[in-house]
Structure 1
């Protein structure tokens, strides 16, 4: 990590960094690595762990990070979103369990919408191969993975391709979705909040998700525990619109119960 230029120097030539520069560096590391730990950043910036904790509290109040035990995760916003490659490196065992549990909710569905993102890709792979399915997706990666299945008919939504997530958006995608009646939609979100609903950084992505929900009879929300309590830029749905929310056991049971009171079954795996 490149340190900022010294703000001032003592007689021994040691550099010092003011709070704004320090918090900028902390946020940069969190966004680069997907997480920042109190111990590591305190050592790198040569400040106390309590100073780092104060900085993280300040960044959390601004909605830029979400604190967890020992550190913090960056919050996705209009100015920042993780790439598909980054998502494929974090919490893979938990996401794999979430995907398997979500696939078990398929029921009698014959047409399925698979959202963009890494966990939805895992859901697609977990769907049964011994029965015919029509899979509609905005994700190029999911379309490629499913296209080789003899029992799957894959419909890739057209539109502008977002390089970070390798998924299509804009009116081409939403226009196609409006023409379908889909049995089941698997939907992800960048932020999941009881107060602010489901959010995503990009309005174009939010509209694809919203249209997929409108075009589907059943809806299942999938999300790793770090998504809960986070809020991004564009609201596209409410938790009450889903029959089930599938997450991992790191989401506290008390918090899961609060979401269940809104209507959906909450499955922790």
Structure 2
């Protein structure tokens, strides 16, 4: 198999499964693990994957974004810990914005049920999760629904957000970088996130360790705009400290 064809297959597996492991893909392609490692280095140089021990994760871009279903299958224990720690940062907030995505949905589930809250969200899944709670009022942003993430975007959503003053916003990102800031593949999604940040008094960034160092297509915020970043312990402590030097408190759980 030609190198370009092999790398195309490796990238396809990474995007389908959310990760590609060196040994299994080497066996499937009939090449050595070292050949796969060279291929992964080449794909990383092109910004298509981010290497980790034993393999690589796909980098989300203007032409590729993982679905909500795929996100719900990866790193679930870590995402549950992140969500619980993020929910503990609620403090006295009465109005909350919850971003689209699987980890934000877990934050919604972790919010206390014994106090009155108004939750604003673009996520249909999060709205459905909270709508049955007697103590929670849910405001679902209108707009075009993106099928992959089941969330609303475009001027209907941002227009509604502009009219609100929100105590606390929980924001996710497809890429988190000290150099390029917070990024997402779709400019329409970036506009909703940016407006939610402008409309909120406090901001908490949540993201699994694989998001750090990744860069997507559309920048919508900087790490310095957040009071807290919540991630998991797979993000090295030294790297967490580099983000803390930009302003936010970094919590690793």
TM-score of the superposed pair, with normalisation by structure 1: 0.94
**Structure 2: 5+ residue stretches without partners:** none
User: Partners in 2 of 1:167 and 1:59 — Cα distance?
Assistant: 30
Does residue 199 of structure 2 align to residue 235 of structure 1? no
User: Partners in 1 of 2:54 and 2:129 — Cα distance?
Assistant: 37
The residue correspondences of 1:118-129 to structure 2 (distance < 5 A) are 118-129=102-113
TM-score of the superposed pair, with normalisation by structure 2: 1.00
User: Partners in 2 of 1:259 and 1:250 — Cα distance?
Assistant: 15
Q: How many residues align?
A: 253
Match of 1:174 in 2: 158
The residue correspondences of 1:187-206 to structure 2 (distance < 5 A) are 187-206=171-190
Deviation per CA, 1:200-259: give whole Å up to 9, x if none.
000000000000000000000000000000000000000000000000000000000000
Match of 1:13 in 2: none
The residue correspondences of 1:53-202 to structure 2 (distance < 5 A) are 53-202=37-186
Compare CA radii of gyration and give the structure with the larger one: 1
Following superposition, the deviation at residue 20 of structure 1 comes to: 0.4
Does residue 9 of structure 2 align to residue 25 of structure 1? yes
Match of 1:6 in 2: none
| Runs ≥4 residues deviating over 3 A | none
User: Partners in 1 of 2:68 and 2:12 — Cα distance?
Assistant: 18
Match of 1:7 in 2: none
Match of 1:11 in 2: none
Deviation per CA, 1:65-114: give whole Å up to 9, x if none.
00000100000000000000000011000000000000000010000000
User: Partners in 2 of 1:42 and 1:97 — Cα distance?
Assistant: 33
Q: Which one of the candidate residues 197, 208, 219 is aligned to 2:192?
A: 208
User: What SS does the corresponding residue of 1:210 show, helix, strand or coil?
Assistant: helix
Q: Which one of the candidate residues 240, 243, 246 is aligned to 1:256?
A: 240
Following superposition, the deviation at residue 37 of structure 1 comes to: 0.7
Deviation per CA, 1:161-188: give whole Å up to 9, x if none.
0000000000000000000000000000
